[in-house]
Amino acid sequence: MAAYVLRRLLLMIPTLLGIMLLNFIIVQAAPGGPIDQIIARYQGLDSISSTRLSSGGGDSTGGSSESRGARGVDDRFIEALEKQFGFDEPAHVRFVNMLGDYATFDFGTSFFRDRAVIDLMIERLPVSISLGLWTTLLVYLISIPLGIRKALRHGSRFDVWTSGLVIVGYAIPGFLFAILLIVLFAGGSYFDVFPLRGLTSPYFDELGLWGKIGDYFWHITLPVIAAAIGSFATLTMLTKNSFLDEIHKQYVLTARAKGASDRQVLYGHVFRNAMLIIIAGLPSALVGIFFTGALLIEVIFSLDGLGLLGFEAVMQRDYPVIFGTLYLYTLIGLILKLISDLTYVWVDPRIDFETRES
């Protein structure tokens, strides 16, 4: 197993390099780079106008020199900006330097916030972790009991209509459901029950302990529900199918023949075996919840997490923040996938990834 773990860790390096290189090329080719953004602000334009003024493609500095000249900007001013942001070097040199810095988790300084990228990510990370953990907890607390009940009542009317509900929930995009929740319960058109944005109220520091707890959950309720809606179907059906598979095995029939009650059979024999694949899949579920729906949910509810930070960085063409958050997301995702495989082996020693690969 040690050799397998070492091999997986080594494979993370080319995977990480490939993802960073592909995104570096895409970002460099996009029009409306950070220098265009600064020139637009300098001239009193917005970022959209700067992008429209750029030509169809980008260059190493993230914008078109022809469009800059057409705006009447002093060339010395542009050269100073290029030197300040490091755009006076070729793209491949900047990419290699970036990888060298990232190996020591030095993500540089934000172009527009004048703060270290690592400090920005550390500041925003607890919000994303909070949203992801509560979403995962809600999904597991509902999906596992529901899946077990569907397995015990397989083919019944309850099984049919609950399957319809979870499939409909899976089909609704999380961001669309978030907008629906805002319209219904956040003062959009009907009820003003929950706050529209933020993770805490402006007067949060003035509240007592229980007041802070209540205020926090008051703000996190709608984002968690919106983030969890698309995850119920997969875990519910996985739980149901896992329990159905175990219920029809020979050891269950033997336990019933010995006089064990249905409850004893379910929780004494079936539950432990059926839950193996569900528990082992927890790291993979965290990857999906953290990195697929969190971004749009944070944007819609104005939660100051990594998703919103990355979105704002893309809109501003803040390259250090874009690549810093991408690097962190990719690294965490690769590590959690490895943990997921190790968890499978831990809960079921019969699984041997090392033998399969050889």
* Residues 124-134 as b or e (16 or more Cβ within 10 Å = b): beebbebbbeb
| pLDDT recorded at residue 290 | 63
| pLDDT recorded at residue 98 | 87
Query: Which amino acid, one-letter code, is at 295?
Result: L
Helix (H) or strand (E) holding 212: helix 209-228
Query: Which amino acid, one-letter code, is at 308?
Result: L
What are 238-268's pLDDT values in tens digits? 888 888 888 878 888 888 888 777 777 777 7
With contact defined as beta carbons under 8 Å apart, do 132 and 290 qualify? yes
Which residues of the chain fall short of a pLDDT of 70?
Answer: 1, 41-74, 77, 84, 188, 280-281, 283-294, 347-358
* Residue extents of the structural domains in the chain: 18-104, 119-357
**Whole-prediction pTM:** 0.73
Q: Which CATH superfamily is domain 119-357 in?
A: MetI-like (1.10.3720.10)
What are 187-234's pLDDT values in tens digits? 767 788 888 888 888 888 888 889 889 988 998 898 888 888 877 888
Q: What are phi and psi of 116, to 5 degrees?
A: -65, 135
Residue of 74, 71, 54 lying closest to 63 (CA atoms): 54
Distances in whole angstroms, Cα of residue 228 to Cα of each of 143, 161, 262, 269, 289? 11, 19, 32, 30, 8
| pLDDT recorded at residue 287 | 65
| Cα 187 from chain centroid (whole Å) | 27
| pLDDT recorded at residue 349 | 64
CA dist., res. 169 & res. 172, Å (int): 5
| pLDDT recorded at residue 161 | 92
